[in-house]
Amino acid sequence: MSDTTQTLPKAGKTLSGGRIDLLIAALLLAMAIAAPFVIESRYMMGQLILGLFWASVAVQWNLLFGYAGVFSLGQMAVFAVGGYATAMLAYYLDLNIFLAIAAGAVIATVFSALVGLACLRLQGVYVALLTYAIAQVIYLLIVTDTNCFEMVGTTCRQFTGGATGFARFGDFGMRAILKGDWIKGNYAIVLGCFVLSMLVSWIILHGPMGLAFKALRDNQAYAVARGINRFHTQLLVFGLSAFFTGMTGGLYATHFQAIGPGIFSISSLLFILAIAVVGGVGTFWGPVVGTIVLMVADELMREVGSFRSIGLGLIIAFAVVALPRGLVGRFSDIFHKHKS
């Protein structure tokens, strides 16, 4: 590698680090599989599952922003679309929950592709603003929905679930099989899906499309001159990332047996941004590392309760200023300096 990679080092190194990736993956996977046999506390298992949800969304956001250069602030909206679609299909049509999750992922993909058609031709910041605005509009339309769709007992229920959302539309069926250990069954399902999404991301990033992303990110004019269609590539990754984000939304709704408009809140988007920024935008393991760090930090800040959000916001700002490529970027810089 030439010395000019000093300024743009991320891409090339992860490529050559395929073996390192495998090692890290094996280690993490071993820990993740061992966890339910070691951990007895249901609360801890719940937190692990929650961590997997966050990590999954952050991984997909990182794929979009860190690799494809699309700065979207609508990630939680895609997540919510997946969750809502799952809940509504199961609630209204009594669809099998796994089918509903798959359908939710597809609907999220279609939704995202439509958004992409509307805004991917725009410059970076415009994309961010529009995706943010679209997410807010959906949120506002849901919470201000007051039209009665059906009566449940004496209360009226809106088609979109209104301000309360949906609950008790089905679960993974683990309570019937595993009884008290149902949460470990849920964990297995969520972990399996997470591993799948990581695997697909890895394959994509190391295939021709990954090269196209890198070319577009590092030198757009050159990439376009070499026949890479920016719009198509970005739309493709928009859809792909939406599929797994939507799927995670469906899993989330099913695990908690509830979904409501709160998921659109800026603080959940913020948590995703924080995970990616602290871990390292544009690095493969960044979102995973970021999730671990922030879940632990969050756990510690539980003590100070109401100051949690203040702390989270400051952590983000600090990380952007002091760790431009996150903990993983920082670590790999040190690692590579040491080696050379």
Partner 1 sequence: MDILIAIITTGLTNGALYALATIGLSLVWGSMGMLNMAHGALLALGGYAVFSVATTLGLPVWLAVLAAAGAGALAGVILYICVVRSLIRTAGKNFETSVMIATVGISISLQNALLQVYGGQPLKQPFGVSGAFRIGDSVVPWLNVVIILVSVVVMLGLALLISRTRMGRAIRATAQNREAALLMGVAVERTYLQVLALSGAVAGICGVLVSSVTQLSPTLGADPMLKAFIMCVVAGLGNLPGAVAAAFGLAMIEAGVQFGMGARWGFPVLLMLVIAILIWRPNGLFGRAQIRRM
Determine which residue in the list 23, 309, 334, 335 makes contact with partner 1, applying CB under 8 A.
309
Task: List CB contacts of 76: < 8 A, sequence separation 6 or more.
Answer: 57, 135, 263, 264, 265, 268, 269, 272
317 lies in the binding site for partner 1 (CB under 8 A): yes
268 lies in the binding site for partner 1 (CB under 8 A): no
Round to whole Å and give the CA distance between 108 and 124: 22
119 lies in the binding site for partner 1 (CB under 8 A): yes
224 lies in the binding site for partner 1 (CB under 8 A): no
Round to whole Å and give the CA distance between 258 and 83: 9
Q: Are 78 and 244 in contact (CB under 8 A)?
A: no
122 lies in the binding site for partner 1 (CB under 8 A): yes
The DSSP element (H or E) to which 184 belongs, if any, is: helix 182-205
CA angle at 34 for the pair 252 and 21, rounded to the nearest 5°: 80
11 lies in the binding site for partner 1 (CB under 8 A): no
220 lies in the binding site for partner 1 (CB under 8 A): no
5 lies in the binding site for partner 1 (CB under 8 A): no
The DSSP element (H or E) to which 303 belongs, if any, is: none
| Rounded least distance, CB 242 to partner 1, Å | 18
Q: Taking each helix axis as running N to C, give the angle between helix 75-93 and helix 124-143, from 0 to 180 degrees, rounded to the nearest 10.
A: 30
How many CA atoms within 13 Å lie on the side-chain side of 123?
1
Q: Interface mask (CB under 8 A) for partner 1, residues 273-302, using x and -?
A: xx--x-------------------------
Round to whole Å and give the CA distance between 284 and 287: 7
Determine which residue in the list 2, 41, 306, 340 makes contact with partner 1, applying CB under 8 A.
306
Determine which residue in the list 52, 77, 315, 328 makes contact with partner 1, applying CB under 8 A.
315
Q: Which residues pair with 166 in a beta bridge?
A: 259
Question: Which two structure tokens, joined as six digits, stand for 200?
Answer: 């697909």
In sign, the C-alpha dihedral spanning 250, 252, 257, 258 is: negative
Q: Which is nearer to partner 1, 134 or 242 (CB)?
A: 134
Q: Interface mask (CB under 8 A) for partner 1, residues 132-151, using x and -?
A: xxx-xx--xx--xx------
263 lies in the binding site for partner 1 (CB under 8 A): no
Stretch that binds partner 1, among 24-32, 117-125, 243-251, 254-262 (CB under 8 A): 117-125
Q: Which is nearer to partner 1, 99 or 137 (CB)?
A: 137
65 lies in the binding site for partner 1 (CB under 8 A): yes
Residues that bind partner 1 (CB under 8 A): 65, 71, 118-119, 121-126, 128-130, 132-134, 136-137, 140-141, 144-145, 266-267, 269-270, 273-274, 277, 306-307, 309-317, 320-321, 324
